[in-house]
Structure 1
Amino acid sequence: MEIKRSLLNVIILLSLIFVAQCSDEYNCVYTFFIKTGSIIKGGTDSKINLELWNKHGDGIRIKDIEKWGGLMGPRYDYFERGNVDLFSGRGPCLNGPVCAMKLISDGSGAYHGWYCDYVEVTTTGPHKGCAKQKFEVEQWLATDAAPYELTVERDYCPYNDVNKDRSPNLISISSS
């Protein structure tokens, strides 16, 4: 009888741990300030995706950041010339601060080219400090302007022999 009770207690404890881990899945808050350059035709109507990583290669992929966490209002036109746009939403916590990012434009819309000045990322979560990283981009994401790419990556992660050849392990998140 005592063995059954102990076994039941262990099962209940393991179930509680599992439920607690599942509910913590999206407990971190990610906030982005993204500045579009003041260059003529620097704004875009394309969908913008963002990938973030820590130094271990663990990361998140946010599809269509405007839909995922745009905070500027329902009629606001994101990624327009000279604007600083604000986005925020929840996602899985990373084991360490964000130190690398990749911006991806899908190239859609009437105005597909985009000149991004910078992306500033702030992250926080339960029992975690607040971390901030600013990524200077100062580049076109366009097929008709140099460097003729719809993606840009910035990597400020510290490297050593163990993690210099990391390959990203991304978790995709998107709006509901």
Structure 2
Amino acid sequence: MTKIAPLALFLIIAAFFSTLQAREIKNDYCDYEMVVSTGPSRGPSTKLKVILEAIGGDDINTTNVVKNWGAMGPKHTYFLPNSNDIFRTRTRCLEQNFCVVLIQGKKGELKPHWYINNITVATKGPGVIDRFKTFRFISDNEFSSLWPGISDGECP
């Protein structure tokens, strides 16, 4: 019994610090960078809403990705054919990896001829947070709905 007591105490302390570290991650801020690689046709000219959803349901969203995240300067034209556009933000860290990207524009603005090759999301933050993920369209590259999902199948 005396050998079990120190082990039990160690496990309780380890669980406490693990929980404390998980809570600290929620309060920390991370840098997010999203690179949108467009296809052969020009993208929307109006507001574009992007939601990055993580495993477990947490998400980061913006109602105007160009205005709020655009990192290529105020005179840059985003979503030109065959280009890579960079968007950055700093916000709370999410504990889990992203599993889906949702995009919304005005009705009819995204389809029928705007293509995205892929979207890459990089996350850097305190501790060991250093994630990099590329999302490709579920079907073809052309938008077929108001809320097209770009996923790699990790969302439950």
Q: TM-score, normalised by structure 2?
A: 0.71
Deviation at residue 62 of structure 1 after TM alignment: 1.8
**Residue matched to 2:116:** 116
Query: For residues 92 and 157 of structure 1, what CA distance do their matches in structure 2 show?
Result: 24
Q: Distance in 2 between matches of 1:53 and 1:31?
A: 15
Match of 2:37 among 32, 35, 38: 35
Runs of 4 or more consecutive aligned structure 1 residues displaced over 6 Å after TM superposition: none
The Cα of 1:51 is off from its aligned counterpart by 0.9
Instruction: Confirm or deny: 8 A CA contact 2:53 2:101 kept in the other structure.
Output: yes
Q: Which amino acid aligns with 1:140?
A: E
Q: Which residue of the partner structure matches residue 129 of structure 1?
A: 129
Q: Deviations over 1:36-58 (max 9, x none)?
A: 1124xx33212221111222111
Give the corresponding residue for 1:139.
141
1:153 and 2:155 matched:
no
**Paired residue secondary structure (2:135):** strand
* Residues 157 and 127 (structure 1), Cα distance of their counterparts in 2 relative to 1, 3 Å cut: farther
For these two proteins, the number of residue pairs brought into alignment is 129
Structure 1 residues 53, 113: CA separation in 2 closer, same or farther (over 3 Å shift)?
same
Asked if structure 2 preserves the Cα contact closer than 8 Å seen for 1:47 and 1:108, the reply is no
**CA distance change for structure 1 residues 115 and 91 in 2, over 3 Å: closer, same or farther?**
same
Query: What CA deviation, in whole Å up to 9, does each residue of 1:11-53 have, x standing for no partner?
Result: xxxxxxxxxx7xx46x1111010011124xx332122211112
CA contact (8 A) 1:101 1:155 kept: yes
> Alpha carbons of 1:112 and 1:69: their partners in 2 closer, same or farther (altered >3 Å)?
farther
1:31 is paired with a residue whose SS is: strand
Q: Does 1:105 align with 2:101?
A: no
**Contact 2:51–2:102 (8 Å) recurs in 1:** yes
Shift of residue 116 of structure 1? 1.5
Q: Root-mean-square deviation (CA), in Å?
A: 2.6
Q: Distance in 2 between matches of 1:46 and 1:117?
A: 20
For residue 90 of structure 2, what is the amino acid of its counterpart? R
- Supply the distance in 2 between the matched residues of 1:29 and 1:125 (Cα, whole angstroms): 6
CA contact (8 A) 2:35 2:119 kept: yes
Q: Percent identity?
A: 24
TM-score by length of 1: 0.63
